[in-house]
Amino acid sequence: MVSRNDLSKDESSIHDLFVGLSRANTLRSTAEAVGTYCGKAFRSPAGMIFVERESGLELVSQWCSRPISKTQLAQEMIRKGPVARAFRTGEPVFFDQDRLCHSSVSRCLYRLLRKCQCRSVTFLPISGPKKRPIGVLAIVLPQPNGFARSTGMVRLGQIISGWIQRARAYDEALAARAKAENLMQSKDEFLSMLSHELKNPMMPILGWAVALSSGTLPADKQNYALEGIVRNVRALNYLIEDLFDAARISTGKLRLEPAEIRIQDVAREALTATQVMIESKKLRISTDISEAIPPFIADGRRLLQVLTNLLNNAVKFTPEGGSVALKVRRNGDNVECAVSDSGKGIERKFLPFVFDRFRQERRLWKGQSTGLGLGLAIAREIVELHGGSIEAFSDGTDKGSTFIVRLPLRRKAHGKSGTAIRKKISNPPD
């Protein structure tokens, strides 16, 4: 029967391992406790711990008693070689200094051993008995492979398996809590913004309605009052439609009504819808709409919603005297609609979230009216329902932005021709 002393040179080292693991909560601190133990128990000058994540095996900790260059360590090469093999098979992989260097991985390990003045490297699967590995522990040892093959050494991977699983669960719980807190904060910000945006059109409507009902408004002001009421009712209607569309997306009930359309006509209608805003800000507008694009099947009303939203955003965030451009062209089997501007741009760190609901750059909406921040999320869903894609590009603050919509000219049939297309949509990232 194998005693605990097989795992280390003395009782104190194994005791220190359990003490260190009991104090560790996160995956990183757990891995550091294992590294400290290996250095003390096996005189290991270097090592690495890889743990399975969603993206695959990931290096979570490493220890080096002396400086080792990245070239000598070659983490990526090692991860794809013996580490991957130990993880896949569930069996330890041993490398000895005397092994001939036929492969690039072997030469890398040989350089590592020579730098550390050691004789072997052991790759231990981190797994419980008869269980699938959850990671790999790589240990550089001054002893030859005979020592590494001992039962005590192999059992080390089994011992730390439970602690690694606990630490991974702890990290996942922390991440889930942070995500939930961010979501709650984003929704609170959204509700605050919603109340602000609903109030903006309602106050002029109320003011003009009271003035008209009082009978004291001069005749030359009455038409102006009616125009103001109509204009703000339309703005309120747009906000409410965005809320309805967001609800339809969440429940998978956003529907398309496909028919044969000319994207050129849709683009020009979107330009007409934003013409007043463009003229009021004295913006330069340039268009390049190709007439070589053939008609195709799509929901013209929804695509008009997408292009109008992109143009409205371009005008809204472009200062007076700036420029806005719309380009519509054919690229192979796709139609590309690009809306660009010379406006405020998008911070690079925010670009991955620009199409998310409840997410807006605070610098853009704080203290000013910018809408609900749902337009781009809705635009993405509409474009994806058409089998297309939408991307945002910007070089940063005050460097303008470009949005490119790609739509396929030909799509696979979805049920009977002419019927509404319905696609089950999961909630977009919050």
As a whole number of angstroms, the distance between CA 208 and CA 211 comes to 5
Residue 60 carries which side chain, given as an amino acid letter?
A: V
pLDDT tens, position by position, 27-82? 889 988 888 888 888 888 888 888 888 778 888 888 876 665 554 455 555 667 88
Give the residue from 316, 241, 240, 243 showing the smallest Cα distance to 274.
316
Helix (H) or strand (E) holding 390: strand 389-393
Confidence of residue 111 (pLDDT cuts 50, 70, 90): confident
Q: What is the pLDDT of residue 56?
A: 80
- Provide, rounded to the nearest whole percent, the portion of the chain with pLDDT above 90: 33
Contact 217, 225 (CB under 8 A): yes
Bridge partners, 49 (sequence order): 61, 137
Contact 177, 80 (CB under 8 A): no
pLDDT tens, position by position, 357-368? 766 665 444 445
pLDDT tens, position by position, 325-381? 999 999 999 999 999 999 999 998 888 889 987 666 654 444 455 566 788 999 999
> Domains of the chain (ranges plus CATH)?
4-175 (3.30.450.40), 182-251 (1.10.287.130), 255-422 (3.30.565.10)
Q: What is the pLDDT of residue 379?
A: 94
Name the pTM for this structure. Answer: 0.56
Exposed/middle/buried for residue 276 (C-beta within 10 Å: 0-12, 13-18, 19+)? exposed
Helix (H) or strand (E) holding 324: strand 323-331
Contact 342, 415 (CB under 8 A): no
- Residue 50 has phi, psi (to 5 degrees) of -110, 135
Confidence of residue 414 (pLDDT cuts 50, 70, 90): very low
User: How confident is the prediction for the chain on average, in pLDDT?
Assistant: 82
Q: What is the pLDDT of residue 146?
A: 60
Q: In what order do the strands lie in the sheet with 323-331?
A: 284-289, 323-331, 334-341, 401-408, 389-393
Give the residue carrying structure tokens 């053939």.
294
Query: When comparing pLDDT for 414 and 389, which is higher?
Result: 389
pLDDT tens, position by position, 170-205? 988 998 999 888 888 877 877 777 887 788 889 999
Structure tokens at 221: 């002001």
